Amino acid sequence: MVRIGAILLGTGLLGLGLLAGCPDNSNNPYPGSKADANVLYSAFSERPKHLDPARSYSANEAEFTGQIYEPPLQYHFLKRPYTLVPLTAEAVPRPRYFDAAGKALPDDAPAASIAESAYEIRIRPGIRYQPHPAFARDAAGRYRYHSLAAADIAKNTRIQDFEHSGTRELVAADYVYQIKRLANPRLSSPIFGLMSEHIVGLKALGEALEKAAKADPDAALKLDDFPLDGAEVVDRHTYRIRIKGKYPQFIYWLAMPFFAPVPWEAEAFYAQPGMADRNLTLDWQPVGTGPYYLAENDPNRRMVLKKNPHFHGEAHPAEGSEEDRRAGLLADAGKLLPFVDEAVYSLEKETIPYWSKFLQGYYDSSGISSDSFDQAVQFTSGGDPQLTDSMREQDIHLITAVSASIWYVGFNMLDPVVGGLGEDRQKLRQALSIAFDYDEFISIFLNGRGIPAQGPIPPGLFGYVEGVAGLNPYVYEARDGQIQRRPIETARKLLAEAGYPNGRNAKTGEPLVLYFDTMASGPDAKSRLDWMKKQLDKLNVQLVVRGTDYNRFQDKIRKGNAQLFEWGWNADYPDPENFLFLLYGPHKKVASGGENAANYDSTEFNSLFERMKDMDNGPARQQVIDAMLEIVRRDAPWIFAYYPKSFGLRHGWVHNVKPNLMANNTLKYRRIDPDLRASRRAEWNRPVLWPIILLVAALVAVIAPAVIGWRRHEGKTA
């Protein structure tokens, strides 16, 4: 017994010794790291699929590509509404217009007379790429790694394994090269279809490349051998993009990584046989001019961005609102970016460990999952969110922002029961819009993280009207200066006028049964779906929920077999066109495979949309938008549900955080106070050793009687 007790005690003491002997906190998940290093720690929950700027389109990918690649334009970090400013370009380009004969037109020429728009972009000289072996040259000026033998490639499993690296200046040809890459059939760029409708010659280039790819499936496509009419190099630092007709929203695409430069050397380097087998592709090892480069790419564990030593330099913005000044966002004005030397992103699939590590100080910022919402946030009597005392004690700060996105319940306008533009159908949909009390939904299911939607355009975008002036009069009304949902009696009246008094068909007497298609499943979804049924119970209308998987759901929407469905949209760019086009008739899902999932088609709305999309922001455009909103609110092809509100948290040592829902390159503005973080981590993570002592004691107490019993027993039988 003494021997076993001694072993257990020894083990316990050894454990204590090991923990006590740890150079840092024993629960530190970053072995070998220095707590006071200028490193930002964050997490990602889903491994990025693509880091190639021609392919990447997801928000979780943009978190990386946004820091590495530099399109010609970017969004101003602080200004609202969102404003485009130059990034690598010298200025934000203004389009020049031409008629069918190639004659220049004035800026205010009517859209119908414009055959082509030309954007001439001049990039700043002297910008250089990150260090990369694709640029490395030998003494004779030849590329070191462009004609590697299979054995040489086999020796290198990571980019860092290549001994030499180089750089070169960014030139206009790199931008043109990337535009051509959008048409490469082997890359399946998600925006090729859309851009081929706008960029002159892109569709033809796609067809030519497809033909070449089919003719020789194993050969690399040399894009320089294929001309593109709509993108040309003017001089070393200038290029021109030609667009069919007028497409003012094109300028926003120039702030996305799709239009970032890609050096041909990188493609040539990665195209060598054997590279792809080692995951050495542009899709996984990006090459850019941005403030950071991807130093470690292990999407199964962690991804590390390091400061690009060749970064051209950029100053922290000096313009901002008074509110920004008060929040300290202008304190670093004029200082050289980026502030953080390194950013470490760890894979964290589950919310519990993520949240715990944030509270331990091992992540610098965090979202708030529904599990931890009550622990972090409480609402004041006025309904404003504020941090709980425990969060404030830890000097944690709350960041909120209304997303540039919308959730809605769509009516299939082709459906014989809820579809159509007749007055009775309008009233039916208006009645249902009143009955679905999304104010309640936001409170119950979103912890207040949303704003009831009044129309398709979310706040922060041109066209959105704040307050009572912007309410949807068919669903809401102004009472005491507040926006209030219309009473359910109004909905009942509308339902009766639609031919369904008390929820029954006036002619046949049959109850009105509606079908809601959803991908939602699981216990959380059940309560939401029960809530939806309850909303229609108020009108004595039955709601049948048809749960299905993602594929079948998409299939139903494509074929127009759904009746009611829930859908959402995130803005690509901050222009009302990006939301109103979701209701544009020619974009009907069933007829054209477009994004108009409700298949709404109003001649009145369509013609206004065609006018509005080419207009510059101003009172005239606002007037057209107001008219469009009136039509769409009256016709109610959607139940405008809510604009989601994002809540985030940051520790007190993280500075320069302002939600920018359009920009994805905001890492360069972040500043941290590593010393403060190191001291707080040490304070919050002191190992508690008594449980180990207690455990050893408990084990001794449990095992001792067993050992005594054993010995007695053995003594008896021996």
Binding site for other proteins (CB under 8 A): 19, 25-32, 47, 49-50, 57-58, 185-186, 188, 190-194, 210, 276-279, 281, 283-284, 298, 300-301, 346-350, 352-353, 356-357, 359-360, 549-551, 554-555, 572, 593, 595, 685-689, 691-692, 705-706, 709-710, 713-714, 717-718
| Of residues 188 and 321, the one with the C-beta less far from other proteins | 188
**Secondary structure tally for the chain: helices H, strands E:** 23, 27
| Of residues 370 and 484, the one with the C-beta less far from other proteins | 370
| Of residues 214 and 326, the one with the C-beta less far from other proteins | 214
| Of residues 39 and 539, the one with the C-beta less far from other proteins | 39
Residue type, 287: V
The least CB distance from residue 718 to other proteins, in Å, is: 5
Among 356, 364, 358, 321, which Cα is nearest to 339's? Answer: 364
Looking up tokens 């509308």 gives 494
Q: Phi and psi for 569 in degrees, rounded to 5?
A: -150, 130
Rounded CA Rg of the chain: 30
Token pair for residue 303?
């991804």
If you write DSSP's letter for every residue of 667-693 in order, what string do you get?
GGG-EE-HHHHHHHHHHHT----HHHH
Among 635, 629, 644, which Cα is nearest to 454's? Answer: 629
The least CB distance from residue 498 to other proteins, in Å, is: 33
Residue type, 13: L
Q: Rounded distance, CA 693 to CA 26, Å?
A: 17
Token pair for residue 674?
């590593």
| Of residues 301 and 392, the one with the C-beta less far from other proteins | 301
The least CB distance from residue 697 to other proteins, in Å, is: 16
The least CB distance from residue 29 to other proteins, in Å, is: 4
| Of residues 132 and 357, the one with the C-beta less far from other proteins | 357
Hey, is 187 helix, strand or coil?
A: coil
The least CB distance from residue 340 to other proteins, in Å, is: 21
Give CA 703 to chain center in angstroms.
56
| Of residues 44 and 500, the one with the C-beta less far from other proteins | 44
| Of residues 429 and 588, the one with the C-beta less far from other proteins | 588
DSSP 317: P
The least CB distance from residue 519 to other proteins, in Å, is: 12
The least CB distance from residue 674 to other proteins, in Å, is: 20
| Of residues 417 and 689, the one with the C-beta less far from other proteins | 689
Residues 362 and 30 sit within 8 Å (Cβ to Cβ):
yes
Neighbours of 211 (CB within 10 A): 10
The least CB distance from residue 101 to other proteins, in Å, is: 31
The least CB distance from residue 140 to other proteins, in Å, is: 34
The least CB distance from residue 563 to other proteins, in Å, is: 21
Neighbours of 168 (CB within 10 A): 15
Q: Where are the strands (E) in 151-261, listed by range? A: 231-235, 238-244
Query: What element of type H or E holds 439?
Result: helix 438-445
| Of residues 325 and 349, the one with the C-beta less far from other proteins | 349
| Of residues 287 and 434, the one with the C-beta less far from other proteins | 287
Residues 563 and 517 sit within 8 Å (Cβ to Cβ):
yes
Residue type, 441: F
Looking up tokens 């990665």 gives 270
The least CB distance from residue 714 to other proteins, in Å, is: 5
Residues 64 and 365 sit within 8 Å (Cβ to Cβ):
no
| Of residues 36 and 210, the one with the C-beta less far from other proteins | 210
The least CB distance from residue 109 to other proteins, in Å, is: 28
The least CB distance from residue 550 to other proteins, in Å, is: 7
Strands 342-347 and 302-307: antiparallel
Give yes or no for a cis peptide into 317 (omega within 30° of 0): no
| β-strand partners of 41 | 344
Q: Phi and psi for 309 in degrees, rounded to 5?
A: -65, -20
| Of residues 69 and 363, the one with the C-beta less far from other proteins | 363
The least CB distance from residue 362 to other proteins, in Å, is: 8
Among 314, 315, 261, 256, which Cα is nearest to 289's? Answer: 261
Residues 43 and 363 sit within 8 Å (Cβ to Cβ):
yes
| Of residues 123 and 557, the one with the C-beta less far from other proteins | 557
| Of residues 357 and 492, the one with the C-beta less far from other proteins | 357
Q: Phi and psi for 255 in degrees, rounded to 5?
A: -105, 10
Total count of residues recorded for the chain: 718
Q: Rounded distance, CA 558 to CA 567, Å?
A: 13
Q: Phi and psi for 41 in degrees, rounded to 5?
A: -110, 125
CA atoms within 13 A on the CB side of 622: 9
The least CB distance from residue 175 to other proteins, in Å, is: 21
Among 97, 364, 137, 376, which Cα is nearest to 250's? Answer: 97
Token pair for residue 272?
């060598």
The least CB distance from residue 593 to other proteins, in Å, is: 6
| Of residues 537 and 555, the one with the C-beta less far from other proteins | 555
